[in-house]
Amino acid sequence: MNEHMDKLLIIDDEKGVREYLAAACRRLNFVATTAVGREAVVRKLTTFDPSVILLDLQMPGEDGIQILKVLKDHKSQARVVLMSGLDKRTLATATQLGKIFGLNMDGSLEKPILIGELRRKLCNAKAEHWGVDADQLQEAIARGEIMPSYQPKATRAADGKWSIDEVEVLARWHRQDAEVILPSAFIEIAEEAGLLPALTRSIVRQTLIQLAEWDNQGLNLTASVNLSPSLLTDAGFPEQLSALTEEFGVDNSRLTLELTESALTQNAGLAIEILSRMRIKGHNLAIDDFGTGYSSLEQLYRMPFNELKIDRFLVRDIGTRTEASTIVETIILLGHKLGITVCAEGVETRESLDFLVNAGCDKVQGYYVGRPSSARMVEKRIGEFQQDGFTDNSADLDDNEVRPHAHVAKQPLPAHYN
């Protein structure tokens, strides 16, 4: 097994581009780093040992062709993806040269780079590494190998006290060889093969079973599940979902359906119809990754959401970038003005939590609250939280929990399910 599969090196002379791509790649569970110039590239090849390299062709000083020669001299085994605003023939020629150098060339991305194209390229790289194809994935869904992991969410009551009364459901593929694979390695294949609806239904069913089990333990938890864009074109899905909740005796209000902005751009008219019917049936609706998309405000205005989740990368920069802090405060104010609950994702420090408390945020989610883990560990975390409140539990992992940036774990639907 290649333990470096998740390491990505971005070589570009523009700082803004490097930061943008690094943040996007981390969403896909890559450990991303950047470099500019020959010396920095050589240093990263030696100390970082990337598995994937994004290389800009047009750079002052050493251009992309010269960097290809550096990769050749260091016998790099990484997949190399070229980036450029040049014409396709030039990109094809540079790709061919890389192959002549003996490099593992993996095509190109035209600038400006679309996140969807980048996501497809990196997800396909992971899928090929793991030998994942549509047939295997379909069998895994049928066998129940793709199972939910649960990340706790904390809610603030009117008296200012916090409690864990909700979890977000995250899909994990537990293969028969005992390896645990994150969605970034298979979600793109599921989407292309039309398997996301079946995958989502399986995750929902397992979640409802778990909610019923928690009810028997006296834990009245709610759950949020990422919704496949494919289901927003299925007019029968609201009834199918209601049939599931009725089967397991779970009230519809205890199941929140999360959607990313990109999921709402496909057949918007039908999406509004389906989401409205879900709200009428009592389900809660959350818009995920809010604050980074171009049309987030438009979707918030048009769709019947009652919760918005602030993108984790904005939350991460609280305290280090004034712009991020200002945007987060503004989003919280906007949500409250619209009568919408606001949840901040990616809360990892006490400083971030304190800022969000002062800004009036309603819910928080992140490693400072609890990591994605098994149902057993969620129960343990709730008990700890009731006793001690917020504590740093970053090392609190059980035998099924997936560690950051790792596929294989000793313990535990992004971009839908991560």
Decide: 342 and 153 in contact? Cβ < 8 Å.
no
Q: Domain 7-129 adopts which CATH fold?
A: Rossmann fold (3.40.50)
Kindly report, residue by residue over 118-139, the tens digit of the pLDDT.
Answer: 877 777 676 666 667 889 899 9
At 183, is the pLDDT very low, low, confident or very high (cuts 50, 70, 90)?
Answer: confident
Domain assignments of the chain as residue spans, ordered by start: 7-129, 131-388
pLDDT value of residue 417: 36
Percentage of residues of the chain with pLDDT beyond 90: 50
What's the pTM? 0.73
Give the residue ranges of DSSP H helices in 147-195. 187-192
Longest Cα–Cα distance of the chain, Å, equals 67
Superfamily of domain 131-388: EAL domain (3.20.20.450)
Distances (CA, A) of 4 to 7, 183, 357: 6, 17, 38
Identify each DSSP E strand in 12-133 by its residue range.
Answer: 31-35, 52-56, 79-84, 104-110
Q: Is the pLDDT assigned to residue 4 strictly greater than 90?
A: no
In 10 A of CB 319, how many CB atoms?
Answer: 14
Kindly report, residue by residue over 363-390, the tens digit of the pLDDT.
Answer: 999 999 998 999 999 999 999 888 877 7
Structural element, H or E, at residue 11: strand 7-11
Strand 222-226, strand 180-181: pairing: unpaired
User: Which conformational region is residue 296 in: left (phi greater than 0), alpha (psi within -120 to 50 degrees), or beta?
Assistant: alpha
Going by C-alpha positions, the residue among 79, 77, 59, 73 that lies closest to residue 11 is: 59
pLDDT value of residue 229: 76
pLDDT value of residue 53: 93
Decide: 370 and 354 in contact? Cβ < 8 Å.
no
Strand 307-310, strand 284-290: pairing: parallel
Decide: 32 and 21 in contact? Cβ < 8 Å.
yes
CA-CA distance, 3 to 227, in Å (whole number)? 31
